[in-house]
Amino acid sequence: RLFFVGQNYKSHAKEMGSEANKKSPFFFTKSLSAYVPSGSTISYPPGTKNFHHEMELVVAIGKPVFEVGTQAAKESIFGYACGLDMTRRDLQTDARSKGLPWDIAKDVEKSAVLSAIAPVKTIGHPMSGLIELSVNGEIRQSADLRELVNSPAELIAYLSNFYHLKPGDLIYTGTPSGVGPVLPGDQIEGHIEGVGTISLGISNQ
């Protein structure tokens, strides 16, 4: 399953006209058709004129957890990866203004991009480090993982109150400020210090 945390950086929450919530983070999901590996090229999706990039740290669950605390949640993590949450921003803005769900804006085919997963036994648990994204070589997003409002373990512990989390579940932990539009022909590159790199091309077709 693919879980996504909304506005888990104060900078992004402010950018979106909202506030990050430490006690009650909010989540949305995407279907498996949204998954696409790093290095892919995707078509500009239908139904939008404002397709946005969002660079994120991704957590991969390695063992089952349900109703656990932060320590058990941390121990359930198999590894970390770089991710992109691609979003039909115009449709999201419209849905938010009407108090409607974000599904049509977020659950877009090939919109959950994922790099190789770096195991915890190799990299440990990254609590700080540069998270950055560029489009056509121009830096758009740049922040530090220490700016996350809720840590990966806190997110897992909270989510485990509602779901039986299982190996293979992925949690995209939120994006910093600087999200913005991409166009056909653009090339997206991102990296997270100590975790890895990610790339995505937007097709002209």
The DSSP symbol for 147 reads G
Residue found by looking up tokens 């509602």 in the block: 162
Range from 14-23, 34-43, 181-190 carrying the lowest mean pLDDT = 14-23
pLDDT at 172 over 70: yes
Contact in structure between 133 and 189 (CB atoms under 8 Å): yes
Q: Residue 172 belongs to what H/E stretch? A: strand 170-172
So what's the pLDDT on residue 13? 60
pTM over cut 0.75: yes
So what's the pLDDT on residue 195? 98
